Structure 1
Amino acid sequence: MTLEQSPAPSDVADVYDGIGQIYGSAWGPNYHYGYWENDDDHSSIEVATDRLTDMMISGLSAEPGQRVLDVGCGIGHPALRLVRTSDVNVVGISVSHVQVARANELAAEAGLADKATFQFTDAMDMSFPDGSFDAAWAFESMWHMPDRGQVLSEIARVLRPGGRLAIADVIERGPVSPEGRVVLDHVCENYAVKSLATIDEYRTELAANGFVDVEIRDISANSCRTLAVMADAVETERDKLVALVGEEQATSLLDFMRLSAVTPEQGYLYLTATRA
């Protein structure tokens, strides 16, 4: 199997500030996977992505007035849904100045700037005091982290004892075929992905950082169509994509998205845990 595509920027911010903006204009405000109940569920991507956000909200079980950390906040759409749903205070962090600025703009436009704030912060070295949050989530941000264990350590530090954690993440599912390995490696090399964890690795790292009551669900079957649907959406913005990366690269990128959607070794998990 050959995948012809030059490496995208290795910096996470460059990926989301460049191609990510094209995805956003085609995809909508939720820069994440969707969740479909089964093969007969024909929900729109807006419904499917909101459904996954609602799963994350449910997993946090945050109470009104509590303080929640959003690790890798993007432009803040899920965080604003969390504020509206649970009446909490959210602090979102990102390594993209563009996304932080846009997230704060959206919070202001929604009249929620007093409840949701976003700032430029490295998740591996946060300046927040110990035990300063009641809950935290990482919504498709962990696969970008250079050291997942360090991020979990930092999250554990800033969570109060008993604080809840929810994570949604793209993962590696084994056994991995040679063809699957090509796809997984391509993801890491081209989209500022540091590594794709396995479910077992998540269990080990969560335990090592003081998390208990860990519940992990492999929801690959419910989310795998996301990339195929996204490819169709991005096709509608193909001219913008071509202007950014060229015709050949645009074709390769779209072909790869569709290939990823049918690669079983690329999966998706949803987990919740409690800070001991």
Structure 2
Amino acid sequence: MSAITNDAEFDMTLGQSPAPSDVADVYDGIGQIYGAAWGPNYHYGYWDDDNDHASIEAATDRLTDMMIDGLRGQSGQRVLDVGCGIGHPALRLVQKSGVDVVGISVSHVQVAQANELAAGAGLADKATFQFTDAMDMPFADGSFDSAWAFESMWHMPDRAQVLSEISRVVRSGGRLAIADVIERGPVSPEGRKVLDHVCANYAVKSLGTIEEYREALAANGFVDVDIRDVTANCNRTLAVMADAVETRRDELNALVGEEQAQSLLDFMRLSAVTPEQGYVFLTATRA
């Protein structure tokens, strides 16, 4: 296993709030290689246990379906997708629930890809995607029936501010679902190195904790909070993703160089077995 080193392409000052352009750079650059290797569901997968040998596609769809079930969406409702990526989970939400989705991202590349994907699926009238900063949304108060944030909250400079904005634009009684990478304690010195590396190189100011989520949700008007630590079900993703990205090694080498490419792959495999890097699935209701 190689030592942890900074990924030169994305090196940031630890603790510095990522700008929207920093987040976009991650997903528009190396994220395109990750996406090509991983598939359209560019998020973690969910496996029931160590004996579950579900494919990447099945495991990632399973996590998407958990989010869909958490929203309890109904035909005709309007859902906000905070940090929509290329829109694949949002389109699955539309197809399974009949809702209308507005997705937002700080990546012009992702917005364009998401709108193209929606048009190709014949869902352009049900799912639209736009360039918008989740910290300052242009939407009217109470204009959505529900919202989700699918692995986007860890990139936010201020998660409480984003939750405040979501609370503002979601009507009373509306549902919220979040899937996010988190910090789990107690944190060992080696675990801290891994978490710090994530923050310094992937446009992350800090990884939140379950307790911080509870406090921020309560402070921003969310009730009936249900939080599940699903680290044991999801962290296999990182090792499986490393294997998938290995198949695109020539592209990765061309982007960051052979040494950095190896460091990236080693780091993903290290993260998969670092218990301090966790994963959470939560739902709540806007009071």
- TM-score (norm. length: structure 2): 0.95
8 Å contact 2:177–2:283 — kept in the other structure? yes
Q: 1:195, CA displacement in angstroms?
A: 1.2
Are the counterparts in 2 of residues 71 and 94 from structure 1 also a CA contact under 8 Å?
yes
Q: Does residue 60 of structure 1 match 2:61? A: no
Residue 266 of structure 1 aligns with an amino acid whose one-letter code is Q
2:237 counterpart residue number: 226
Q: In structure 2, what is the equivalent of residue 259 of structure 1? A: 270
Does the 8 Å contact 2:83/2:150 carry over to 1?
A: yes
What is aligned with 1:6? 7
Alignment correspondent of 2:31: 20
Measure the CA separation in 1 of the matches of 2:34 and 2:221: 36
The structural deviation recorded for 1:5 is 2.9
Find the partner of 2:48 among 27, 37, 43.
37
Equivalent AA in structure 2 for residue 101 of structure 1 = A
Secondary structure of the residue aligned to 2:279 is strand
In structure 2, the residue matched to 1:246 is 257
* 1:180-235 Cα deviation digits (max 9, x unpaired): 00000000000111210000000000000000000000000000100000000000
Question: What pairs up with 1:152-191 in 2 under 5 angstroms?
Answer: 152-191=163-202
Q: Confirm or deny that 1:131 pairs with 2:142.
A: yes
SS in structure 1 at match of 2:57:
helix
In structure 1, the residue matched to 2:215 is 204
After superposing the two structures, state which structure 1 stretch, 174-183 or 3-12, moved more.
3-12
In the alignment, the residues of structure 2 paired with residue 225 and residue 3 of structure 1 have an alpha-carbon distance, to the nearest angstrom, of: 19
Q: RMSD value over aligned CA atoms? A: 0.9
Q: Which runs of 4+ in 1 moved over 4 A?
A: none
Q: 2:85 is matched with which residue?
A: 74
Q: Is the 8 Å Cα contact of residues 85 and 111 (structure 2) preserved in structure 1? A: yes
Q: Secondary structure at the match of 1:32?
A: coil
Deviation at residue 111 of structure 1 after TM alignment = 0.1
Partner of 1:97: 108
Identity between Structure 1 and Structure 2 (%): 82
- Cα distance in 1 for residues equivalent to 2:121 and 2:244: 26
TM-score under structure 1 normalisation? 0.99
Distance 2:269 2:38 in 1: 15
Equivalent-residue separation in structure 2 for 1:181 and 1:216 (angstroms) = 23
Structure 1 residue 4: Cα displacement: 2.0
**Once the two structures are superposed, what CA deviation does each residue of 1:49-98 show, in whole Å capped at 9, x if it has no partner?**
00000000000001111000000000000000000000000000000000
For residues 5 and 241 of structure 1, the distance between their equivalents in structure 2, rounded to whole angstroms, comes to 15
| Amino acid paired to 2:127 | A
Deviation at 1:8, TM superposition (A): 3.7
Which residue identity does 1:275 align to in structure 2?
R
Give the Cα–Cα distance (whole angstroms) in 1 for the partners of residues 204 and 50 of structure 2: 29
In structure 1, C-alpha distance between the alignment counterparts of 2:249 and 2:179, rounded to whole Å: 28
The answer to whether the 8 Å contact 2:3/2:263 transfers is: no
SS of residue in 2 equivalent to 1:63: coil
What stretches of structure 2 of length at least 5 have no aligned partner? Answer: 13-21
CA contact (8 A) 2:79 2:101 kept: yes
Cα contact 1:8–1:191 (8 A) shared by 2? no
Quote the residue 2:227 is aligned against: 216
Q: Name the structure 1 match of 2:57.
A: 46
- Contact 1:22–1:240 (8 Å) recurs in 2: yes
> Which amino acid in structure 2 is aligned with residue 82 of structure 1?
L
CA contact (8 A) 1:5 1:253 kept: no
Counterparts of 2:156 and 2:139 in 1: how far apart (Å)?
18
The answer as to 2:196 corresponding to 1:195 is no
Quote the Cα distance in structure 1 between the aligned partners of 2:228 and 2:58: 20
Measured in 2, the distance between the counterparts of 1:76 and 1:147 equals 23
CA distance in 1, matches of 2:214, 2:231: 17
